[in-house]
Structure 1
Amino acid sequence: MRVVMFGYQTWGHRTLQALLDSEHDVVLVVTHPASDHVYEKIWNDSVADLAARHGVPVLLRNRPGDEELLAALKAAEPDVIVANNWRTWLPPEIFDLPPHGTLNIHDSLLPSYAGFSPLIWALINGERHVGVTAHRMDAELDAGDVLIQRSVPVGAADTATDLFHRTVDLIGPLVTESLDLIASGRAVWTPQDRSRATFFHKRALEDSRIDWTWPAEDLERLIRAQSDPYPQAFTHHRGERLRIVSAAVSEGRYGGTPGRIFIREGDGVVVVAGAGARTGRLPGLLVRRVRTEDGAEQSATDYFRTMGGYLTPRP
């Protein structure tokens, strides 16, 4: 089949590589220009560079829909469009252009976690599995009929970085299998159960700010979800931003005001957490490693020389 590919960053790069390795003919690639957005500088393998190395024509667009792009798509005469990590909505005149429509690859188990940063949100929310979905694109973002899904388990100590590497490895085989099913006429499309759908916004630095009224269990997952190279979850200590690099749920239960730097426990320092912390029935967050604004990283026991005082959302 003749394939046009829309995509960006490492997700799009893996998709394009799978297409180039397949028996299908990649006739055009559409990708975004380089971005300074903090989350778009992570996992930023260049789709444009990969296409250029293989002699595939490339168009750079922030948004689709202009006449030049539409004319190029029509001239390419694709049998199918394949999209992965294209960050804006595609209009019907594009996604319905090829005879086989547009196959979108999304890194969640749809209908849950449609939208942006699904792995991070899923980890924060304590999901036991994450994965990748191949589905037909329609007018509603990430809502079209599903062709294939593949999942991996989430371990108790997994970070978002771990889950990224595990799920991005699913993309190549998923793309190859999907196109083989479509080309052979054996594709079976299953409508999504829209009563189970959830949709998440793109993450920004504000979403890494620690709210000490969250339960310690949720905060521990937030910190794993904001693992390097993502922007770490952060708080403020004595007016300065402090990033929490590593943490756990305390063994003991500690009462008081959320954010209070309370007591040493094992290899860390407990910070009181949870909206109900005043009852004394909740564990705290055991902070193990921190990073200051100058990039210096140290153990929490070295950083917090004395107990007392508070960690706050803002200076």
Structure 2
Amino acid sequence: MTSPLRILFMGTPDFAVPSLQALLDGPDQVVAVVCQPDKKKGRGRKLQPPPVKVTATEAGLFVLQPDNIKTDVFFKQVEEIAPDLIVVVAYGKILPASLLRLPPMGAINVHGSLLPKYRGAAPIQWAVLNGEKESGVTIMQLDEGMDTGDILYPVAIPIEKDDTAGTLFDKLAHLGGRTLAKAVELMKLGQLSPIPQDNTKASHAPMLSKAQGHIDWQQTAESIHCIIRGLDPWPSAYGFLNDKRFRFFAPELVAKSATEAPGTVCQADAQGLLIATGSDYLRIREIQPEGKKRMSVQACLCGTTIVPGDLFT
């Protein structure tokens, strides 16, 4: 029987919580947690702890929130904790080489894509934006690059036609926790073989911007379908009608060649908005008028006039 590992966990957002919980539920010991500092949020601009800190505090764990992880002070703190392994899940900063070399078993990461595809900050969103048919998580050995370390344990799942970045995020967060637990078990048994990434097959997933959400209706219905889903819930896809911004959600492909100008509303009823694109039609079932909450198109039409012939720009 192998001895329990001393694990230092580094993570910050919701995506990392299932992985932390999986370690807490397992046979090893999470000796400390490192996450980003609290941030001001909401109208009151009150300091809010990140989700990982909330989970760690509830579990009675020691939490560190350094502004800078490249200092001698932080290195000595980690040295005193003496972890056997560092586990990183969406921490938000690249670890320096000194930290990567410190634990006997190094540092591993849970990444929300099938590496080497979609290295970077927004792998889940870009997989949906690009119309991928599958995604997954990769347990990788960390190095000093951006998601360039050796692959240890990848697990794939399909991307469903109605998946959004938000629903896929939740699926991969929980898959990440389960996969991490299995990978740590295999590491302890010496049964994981690192596989170098093929850099010729690498693609990148940079952070998203709000400007990416402005829909070009000249694109195909299939492309816009992916854009709306990939930008849901943030930053969301949008268009303008009478100088008012409308955000679009829950798209449905309608395979019928469009004859109207792209962006034209062809139907507006309880079933949604049928909008012409550069190729085929798209039915929008949920919408968010400017200054209001997200709602069904049926609810929107009770208070907002959108009629056939209107043109979204």
| Bin of the TM-score, shorter chain as denominator length | 0.7 to 0.9
CA–CA separation in structure 1 for the residues paired with 2:147 and 2:166: 23
Unpaired segments of 5 or more residues in structure 1? 39-43, 275-281
Residues 247 and 186 of structure 1, relative CA distance in 2, 3 Å threshold? closer
What corresponds to 2:202 in structure 1?
Answer: 197
CA contact (8 A) 2:267 2:307 kept: no
CA–CA separation in structure 1 for the residues paired with 2:228 and 2:196: 35
| Alignment match of 2:58 (pick from 53, 72, 82) | 53
- 1:177-219 Cα offsets, whole Å, 9 max, x none, are 2112222222211111111111111123223222223211011
CA–CA separation in structure 2 for the residues paired with 1:76 and 1:288: 52
CA contact (8 A) 2:153 2:192 kept: no
* 1:287 partner letter: I
Residues 260 and 99 of structure 1, relative CA distance in 2, 3 Å threshold? same
What corresponds to 2:181 in structure 1?
Answer: 176
RMSD: 2.4
Structure 1 residue 299 corresponds to structure 2 residue 297: yes
CA–CA separation in structure 1 for the residues paired with 2:153 and 2:133: 19
- Give the TM-score, by structure 1 length: 0.86
Structure 1 residue 142 corresponds to structure 2 residue 147: yes
What corresponds to 1:131 in structure 2?
Answer: 136
Q: Is the partner of 2:152 in helix, strand or coil?
A: strand
What corresponds to 1:159 in structure 2?
Answer: 164
Unpaired segments of 5 or more residues in structure 2? 43-48
| Alignment match of 1:220 (pick from 207, 214, 225) | 225
- 1:3-59 Cα offsets, whole Å, 9 max, x none, are 111101122222221222222222221101234689xxxxx9621122223332211
- Of 29-38 and 152-161, the range deviating more from structure 2: 29-38
What corresponds to 1:254 in structure 2?
Answer: 258
CA–CA separation in structure 2 for the residues paired with 1:22 and 1:248: 42
CA–CA separation in structure 2 for the residues paired with 1:109 and 1:175: 14
| Alignment match of 2:282 (pick from 281, 285, 288) | 285
- Give the TM-score, by structure 2 length: 0.86
CA–CA separation in structure 2 for the residues paired with 1:204 and 1:35: 20
* 2:253 partner letter: V
What corresponds to 1:13 in structure 2?
Answer: 17
Residues 265 and 126 of structure 1, relative CA distance in 2, 3 Å threshold? farther
- Of 163-172 and 192-201, the range deviating more from structure 2: 163-172
Q: Is the partner of 1:14 in helix, strand or coil?
A: helix
What corresponds to 1:120 in structure 2?
Answer: 125
Matched ranges for 1:38-49 at <5 A: 46-49=51-54
CA–CA separation in structure 2 for the residues paired with 1:125 and 1:311: 23
- Of 96-105 and 294-303, the range deviating more from structure 2: 294-303
Residues 204 and 6 of structure 1, relative CA distance in 2, 3 Å threshold? same
What corresponds to 1:4 in structure 2?
Answer: 8
Percent identity between matched residues is 28
